[in-house]
Structure formats: structure tokens, C-alpha cells
Amino acid sequence: KTGQTVSRFVSQIIAYLQQFEPKHVVIACNTATALALPMLREQFLGLSISGVIDPGAKAAVVAAGRKVTPVIGVIATEATVRSRAYERAIHSRRRHARLIMRSTPLLVPIIEEGRREEDALVKLALRQYIEPVMKQGMDVLVLGCTHYPILKNAIVELVGPKVAVIDSAQQCADDVARRLK
């Protein structure tokens, strides 16, 4: 879908949710966050709105530790990668991080099809997408789609113990829980 279509859908959803007087709205989709969050904040002034990208970027920077030029990989949908939202969010916190952005267009359909981590097709797709990033000395891998944590165990197994795997959705949930206490 186009950025305009995604933004319109999310705007309609938030307009609907307003009748319930929410304290806070979380855009729990990386693509919707990347494409629509600034516009939504302008459209719904006075409503607290956040997305999953900033918490994921913050956690990636923390996980990179004190390394002068950490290598941070981000796997995400094509729209999220094209938006450069993760690049902006990470570089605003860690200017010298080296980012490797990788669109992974087959992962969402594979997950929505109900395939599991032990499925040979899943393992093949993960290897095809992630191994080239690993060869570049990746220190941190951000799961830049809220579908991807479903495959987190397989991803962690693939990248090994030296690479921190960041679940942007979980980081967002933790941030919102702290904020609403």
C-alpha cells in the first residue's frame, strides 16, 4: 500500500478510537509508524501517540554498547526500509553507528501463512536475508516489523550469541507500560 493509504487507514482507526478517550495510542506497526506518525501527531493534537520505531532504535543503541562504530542491522518491510525512519532514529542517538538496512518482503507472508520456525522455507528465507548482513560484522539486529518476533527464536539461533536481537514491539510495550504507570 502507498504511504498515503497507510496514513489514511491509521487516521481512520485513531478517529474511531477517540470515542473511547484513550490516554495513549500506540501505532503497533513499524510501517505505519514510519509512514504516518508525524502526520498523526499533527492531526490529533492533544492525543499522546507513539510508535514502535523510537523504542527499537533506543534499545539497539544501548545494546551496541561502547563500541565506537557499532554495526546495527535492521530487517523490515520494504516500506519501512524506504522511509529511512530507523536510520534517522538510530543516527539521532548514535551518529557513528553503521546501519545495514535489509528489506525482507517474504517474511510477513510466510508468517501470515502460519509457517513455523522449524519450517525449511522459513529457515531458508531467514538465511537468505540475514546471512549477508552477518557477514558485515553485525553487532545488533533490530526486528523492524511486529510480525518478526514470531520467528525470534530462529533468528537468535541464526545470528548466534554475539549479536543482540532487538524486538521493537516489546521495547515499545515496555516503554508505554513505564509511561502509563
- Residues designated as active site: 29, 145
Q: How far is CA 47 from CA 23, 30, 140, 155, in A?
A: 7, 19, 33, 36
- Name the DSSP class of 15: H
Compute CA 111 distance to the chain's CA centroid, rounded to the nearest angstrom.
Answer: 16
